[in-house]
Amino acid sequence: MIYTLTLNPSIDYIVHLDKFVSGLTNRTTSEEYYIGGKGINVSCILAELGMESTALGFTAGFVGEAIEKGLCDMGIHSDFIRLKEGISRINVKIKAENESEINGQGPHISEEDFACLLAKTDAIKEGDTIVLAGSIPKTVSEDAYEQILRRVEWRNIRIVVDATNKLLLNCLAYRPFLIKPNRQELSELFERDVSDERDIEFCARELLKKGARNVIVSLGGNGAILFAENGCIYRCGVVREKVLNTVGSGDSMVAGFIAGFEKTRDYEYALKLGAACGNATAFSPGLAKREKINEILGRL
């Protein structure tokens, strides 16, 4: 089983306007609603690829109920902890001449609530995969991911971490199966300008030394490079098409890689499927659907 963790899920309310004028009433030309959160995005793409997963995390209030129902309607199993107080986030994305975001804070997560989450991870068994994705809410301890990894580290499971800065670095000691920094995140991690492939390779190999087993470096319009645990380097390009949406593209790549490796144990194919999923989401108004993923896969 694949488990995905989203500590602070949301409903993303996307509004399209011809023009946004501050201080006045603005009327939308169209609206969209999506269930948001990096781990949830991974679960959604896995479902499109025919892979089962269980979404873990916290929900609260009527928004939390909508999140759980929405996942159920998509055929995605969830095992969220329902908080007694607060409301899960509603994030507003404004798309006019420019794009702006207003992200909510989310409910308070107590130590007792987090202990309940740790207990749920006891269901994860040998051969399973857990995906830790996104930032940590302010109400949760900064070492939340490390607490989870300490709890599961002796069970021979695959660990995927899609996080940034110290949050990522502190997880490397647990030998994650996959991490996926982009060029900018590498620059922040190593406090240096990562401008060419030599810099990218240096940084990726340092991350491998620190404990990562496989490192995908996403390069946006220039594709992606996988530095694999078998010592090989794999590259995959991109398909040229109008970009409609960048939210969830990286999560889609993670899901595609996991699914591709689960099915074939082939690193090169896993990278290709990951790239196809990431591209397909970028060319879709929301997360990619299976038909679009298959189309892009055939063009890579």
Q: Are the CB atoms for 46 and 255 separated by under 8 Å?
A: yes
d(CA 152, CA 297): 34
Secondary structure percentages of the chain, helix, strand, coil, to 5: 40, 20, 35
Contact 194, 164 (CB under 8 A): no
Identified catalytic residue from 12, 193, 251, 266 = 251
Determine the Cα–Cα distance for residues 71 and 298; give it in Å rounded to an integer.
29
Confirm if 200 and 183 have CB atoms less than 8 A apart.
Answer: yes
Q: Is 143 a catalytic residue?
A: no
Q: How far apart are CA 106 and CA 225, in angstroms?
A: 35
Position 224: which residue type?
A
Q: Quote the CA–CA distance of 232 and 210 in Å, as a whole number.
A: 18
- Three-state DSSP state, 252: helix
The neighbour count for residue 222, using CB atoms within 10 Å, is 12
Active centre residues (catalytic): 251
